[in-house]
Structure 1
C-alpha cells in the first residue's frame, strides 16, 4: 500500500525569537518518550518518535503493512497568518528537515513540502526550492490562505508555478470557518474541517482555478468531505447560471473528476460515493498517520466498501490505489522501484 496522507513534525526547529512564538511558531517540549507540541501557549498535540524519526516511522509502516508513505507538514505549521519573515523562515526550515527525513529512507518515503501561501511572492521562491529537491514531489496547501481564498487572483501565479513545475498539490483543511458555529462541542474534526474542504472545492472548481490551470494535479483530503453528497446540488446551481457565466466551463460532474481524493472517510458507503464522484482511478489511500485520527488499520474504509461489494475493483483496491497515487505524484509505475527496506542514513 502507498499511503498518500501522512504528516510529520520537525523536532529541532527552535523559534528564532519571542515574536515568532507569538505568531504561532510551534515549540516542542520533551516529556518521557513523547513530545508536547505547544502553539500560542496551548498544547495542541502529543507525539512520539514516528512523527519525526525515519527509523521509527519505517518500523510503524512495516507493522502496518504500508510499503510507502507520502509525508507532509501538519496543518498547524502552515502559519499563513504570520508575517512574511516568520512564515517564510518556518516553511523553508521545515522543508529542509522534510527533505532530510525522506532522504533517510528514499525507497519508502516521499515528500510534499510547505509554502508560505499567505505571502504569494515568497511562496513562488519556495516552489523553486521544492522543485529542486528530488524527494519532494509537490506541496500541501490549506483550504484557504488567510487573507486569500484559493481562487483569488493573488494566488494565480502560485498555481501557475506549481503547474509549470509539475508538482502535485494536496489540499488539507486549515483554520475552520466560523469556529463558534463549526467547531463547538468537539465538532472541529467532524464538521469544521470537512466544511473547509467543501469551500476549497468551491474555489478550485467553481472559482475557476482548475479551468485556468488544467495541468494541476490536486488531491483532496478525507474523501472530498461532503462534496460527493452535494454534487447534484452544485450541478443544479451551475445549470441555473447564464451559460456565459458558468464556471467551470464543463459540467461540474465531469469537472470534479479532475480531482483525486483520499479514502479517509471512516465509512465504506461514504467512500463508495466518493469513488463514484471522482472516479475509481482517482481514489488513493490516506491514513493521517501519526495523529490520533489515523485509521485503526490502513485502508479500513476501502476494506469495508469492498466487503460490501461497493468498489469498482473490489478487493484489488490496494493495487489500484497504489497506481493512482503514483499518477497523482507524477511518477511512472514502470520506472518506480519496488519498495524495499532501506538502510537508514539519518533520522530527523
Structure 2
C-alpha cells in the first residue's frame, strides 16, 4: 500500500490545554472533553494505517484567547513544539504554524519565524476570528505575505459567534464546522482574495464542508444579483473554488466525496485523518472506507492519488 500523507492531523500539549481551559474553553466547541495526544499513540495509528507523514496543526479554538501578547507567546510555544516533533521525526511529521490573529503584526512576525527558522510546511487559519471572517480587508497584509512566500494555507473551522443559537445545544463540529467552512471560503471568493492571490495554495477541510452543494448558488448570486459591488465579481465562484485543494477528512464516503467531485478535480484532493480530535476507532472506520472505494479513474487508489497530490503541494515530502 502507498504510504499516505495526512494533511489534516492535530496535536495538543498540556500547557496549551491548560491555557485554553483558563480562557473558558472547558468543553471545546461543545465537545465533552479535550483529546489526549502523544507521539507514541499518533505513530501507532500511522503505522497501523500506512500513513507515512502527518502534517500536524492546532485545531479550534486556536491560540488567541483575547490578549495579543499572550497569543503571540502561545503561538510561538506551540509552533516551536511542533518544530521539535518534526525535527525528531523528520520523515513522519511536518506542521502548519499557528498565527495569533487578529493581531496582524504578530501574525506577520510569526509567519517569518515559523517558515524561515522553524521550517513550517504552511500555516493554519481558523475560519473566523471573533466573528471576523477571512475575506475581511484587515487580513490582506497576511494573505499578501503568504502569497509572496507561496505558503500553504490550511483552513480549519471553528465555532461561529452565534453558536449559542445556531448549534441548538449540539457539538459545533457536527454541523457548525461544515457551514463555517463554507461561510469563510465564500467570503474569500466574494471579497476577491483568490482573485488578488490566484496562486496562493489553500486547503479546504472536510470535503469542502457545504461548498459542493452551494457553489452554483454562490456563483449565481455573485454574477447575477450583486453586480460589481463584490471584488470577486471579476472571476466566477466555481472557477475560483476549482483552484483550491480539499482534504477528505471525516466521513468522506459514501456521499461527501462524490459531491465534492462535482466541484473539484481529482488532482486537488488530499487525505486527512483528523486524529486526535477524531478518536482512533472512528479514524479506523474512515480510513477503511477510503481503502474500500476505487477512484473514478483506472490504475490508482485513493492512497496513491492523494499522496501524489500531496507530494506536488509539499515538495519537501518528495525528497
Q: 1:300 to 1:277 in 2, by over 3 A?
A: farther
Give distance in 2, aligned partners of 1:328 and 1:57: 23
- Tell me by how many angstroms 1:298 deviates: 5.1
5 Å-filtered alignment, 1:24-39, equals 25-26=19-20
Distance 1:41 1:172 in 2: 17
Report if aligned partners of 2:100, 2:107 keep a CA contact under 8 Å in 1. yes
Q: Tell me whether 134-143 or 96-105 shows the greater mean CA deviation.
A: 134-143
State the Cα deviation string for residues 279-306 of structure 1 (Å, max 9, x = none).
1111111111012365334534534553
Partner Cα separation in structure 1 for residue 127 and residue 6 of structure 2: 21
Aligned residues of 2:151 and 2:201 also touching (Cα < 8 A)? yes
Unaligned 5+ segments in structure 1 are: 16-24, 28-37, 338-348
Match in the other structure for 1:21 = none
Q: RMSD in angstroms over aligned alpha carbons?
A: 2.4
Which stretch has the larger CA shift, 201-210 or 286-295? 286-295
Superposed counterparts of 1:236-255, under 5 Å: 236-241=220-225, 244-245=228-229, 247-255=232-240
Q: How does 1:111-260 map to 2 (within 5 A)?
A: 111-133=95-117, 135-146=119-130, 148-241=132-225, 244-245=228-229, 247-260=232-245
Aligned pairs for 1:73-84 within 5 A: 73-79=58-64, 81-84=65-68
Return the offset for 1:135.
3.9
In the TM superposition, residue 177 of structure 1 has moved relative to its aligned partner by 4.1
2:5 to 2, 25, 28: 2
Q: TM-score, normalization: structure 2?
A: 0.87
SS in 1 for 2:235: coil
**Alpha-carbon distance between aligned partners in 2 of 1:60 and 1:118, rounded to the nearest angstrom:** 34
Equivalents in 2 of 1:191, 1:41: separation in Å? 19
1:311 counterpart = 2:292: no
Q: How far apart, in 2, do the equivalents of 1:332 and 1:276 lie?
A: 30
> Structure 1 residues 257 and 66, CA, compared in 2 at 3 Å: closer, same or farther?
same
Larger Rg computed on CA atoms = 1
Q: Distance in 2 between matches of 1:83 and 1:217?
A: 29
Q: Provide closer, same or farther for how the CA distance between residues 265 and 232 of structure 1 changes in structure 2, counting only shifts above 3 A.
A: farther
1:271 equivalent in alignment to 2:257:
yes
1:244, CA displacement in angstroms? 4.0
* Aligned length in residues: 308
**Residue number in structure 1 paired with 2:88:** 104
Contact between 2:17 and 2:34, CA under 8 Å: does it hold in 1? no
